[in-house]
Every structure is written in C-alpha cells, then in structure tokens.
Amino acid sequence: MCSCFASIGRLLISILSGVFALVGAVIFSLGIIMKVDPTLLDSSLQSAQGSLQQAASLASFPVPSTDINISDLVGSLTIVLIVLGLFFLIVGILGIIGAYCKVRIVLIVYVIVLILLLLSQLLLIIIVFEYRELFDSTLKEHIKEVVKNDYTGINGTSAGNMALNLLMISQGCCGIDNYTDFSAENAPNWQFRSYKDKDGRQRDLVTPMACCKNTSQTPDCAILHDATDGNKNNYNKGCYDAIWRIVKDNEAISIGVVVGICALQLLLIIFGIIMIHQQGKLPV
C-alpha cells in the first residue's frame, strides 16, 4: 500500500513540480523583460499619464515629461517578479529531481521548503486578516514616508510621486487616509500648494489635483469649497481603504485560491514524506 502511495506521489510531485518550474520560468522571464524593456507597460500607463498631463496643463503647471522613467516606477515590481519566478523555478526543479530522479536528499530539501512555504503563507494570512492593525500600521507608515519625502505634486516625475498620482486617479482616492495626508507638515515637498496661474490669479490648493474626480476640471476641483465637495473631489476617500475594498470584494475568490494552494502544498508534503520513507527502506 505504501509503495502504491509512493508511486502516485512520485507522479503527482513530478507533474506539479514541472508546472511550478514552468510558471517560475514565465514569471522570471517577464521580470527580466520588464527590467530590460520597461516600455512593455507603456500602454497600460498611457491613459493615467495622459490624465496627469491634462491636469497639469489646465492648472498652468509645467507638463510632466512623456519620457518618465518607467523602469524607476516599476523597479520594485520587476525585482519581485524575478525573485518570485526564480524561487518557483528552483522549487520545481528540486521536486523533479527529488521525485522523478529519486534523489532522496533533494526530496528531503524539497519537502522542507514546502513546509516552510506553507507555514509562511498561513502566518501571513493570520497577520493580514486577524491582526490587520499590525499590518496596517507598518504599511501605512511606509507609504506616508513616500508622501513626506517624494510627493511634489501633479507634475512630479519621481517613481514614488508618479505611483501615488496614478493610484489616486485609477482608484478614485486621495492620500493614504484622506486629503489631510497632504498638509504642509505631512507633505512638505508638495510644490504649488499656493501659486499664481498664467492670468495672475492666486490659487490655493486644498488637495492635490490627482484627487479630483475629473482631472479636466483642474485646478478648480482642488481649490476651496470644490475641494471638499464629494461630487467633485475624492478628498475623504483614502487609497489604503480603496485597495482593501478591492481585496474584500474578491475575498471569496482569494480565500478559495489560497485554500486550494495550501491544500495542494499539504498533499505534496504528505506524498513527499511517504516517498522519503519508502526510499529509506530500499537496500543500499
């Protein structure tokens, strides 16, 4: 019976490890391609970038350069893809060598890696959903540091500045919690908080123009009464909660996928242990 389970396990681990390796190779290749040629994302960023340029132009600001360094903007994403892809690829290769080629020591390493991966996933799920306040405080502080150090306004071209503007426009939100994240104390580098337009009129912004619901209405939608009008401005809608709403809206699907992945990993661990036990009985 144990021999039968070991044979099934060998077949299952070999097939799934091959899939792991293939997925890892695809993710790794995508990360490398994006690193070498970041213009791959140009089409997806073009619309939001156009909105930023329109808003800056209407407000008489210098229009953001069309030669924005996309590699800086997605630099962290490419690194994540490369590392994640390489990890999947290595785990897949370990599984193939350990199960199909029956190399016991490699199979042991494979099972240990799967156990650590499963425990890490469970720990992350518990922290995110059961102790969200710990997760929130750490992540919010990091994002607020980006606002404090990098945010210069609608026409800023640094990676952090662009990412925040694109996020606010695409998700219809303003700041991490709300527009107060852009006070003089919280966003000291925000340019043109008070400025004179091309007609010499004094303009005092209450929110960044990226917070406007329609960037074609800038700068009026970010000034005085209009800035705190929910029909014209997203001043009271934090981006952090907007992102969490996306997660919550897809919670059932996310939980199903996570449970499925964890169950599959557990199955691979069990079959791997059976194979290790079976190979230990074989004569040397």
Mean pLDDT of 5-28: 85
Q: How confident is the model at residue 178 (pLDDT cuts 50, 70, 90)?
A: very high
* Interacting residues of 222 by C-beta distance below 8 A, sequence separation 6+: 205, 206, 207, 208, 209, 211, 212, 233
Q: Compute the distance between CA of residue 232 and CA of residue 217 in angstroms, rounded to an integer.
A: 9
With beta carbons less than 8 A apart as the criterion, state whether 219 and 201 touch: no
Backbone φ and ψ of 196, nearest 5°: -110, 130
* Interacting residues of 64 by C-beta distance below 8 A, sequence separation 6+: 49, 52, 53, 56, 154, 155, 156, 157
- Say whether pLDDT at 22 is over 60: yes
Mean pLDDT of 9-25: 87
Query: What dihedral angle (degrees, nearest 10) is formed by the CA atoms of 55, 46, 188, 238?
Result: 90
Enter the pTM of the model: 0.67
Domain ranges (residues) in the chain = 1-130+252-284, 155-249
Q: How confident is the model at residue 158 (pLDDT cuts 50, 70, 90)?
A: confident
- Say whether pLDDT at 64 is over 60: no
DSSP-assigned letters across all residues of 81-150: HHHHHHHHHHHHHHHIIIIIS--HHHHHHHHHHHHHHHHHHHHHHHHHHHSHHHHHHHHHHHHHHHHHHH
Mean pLDDT of 195-217: 81
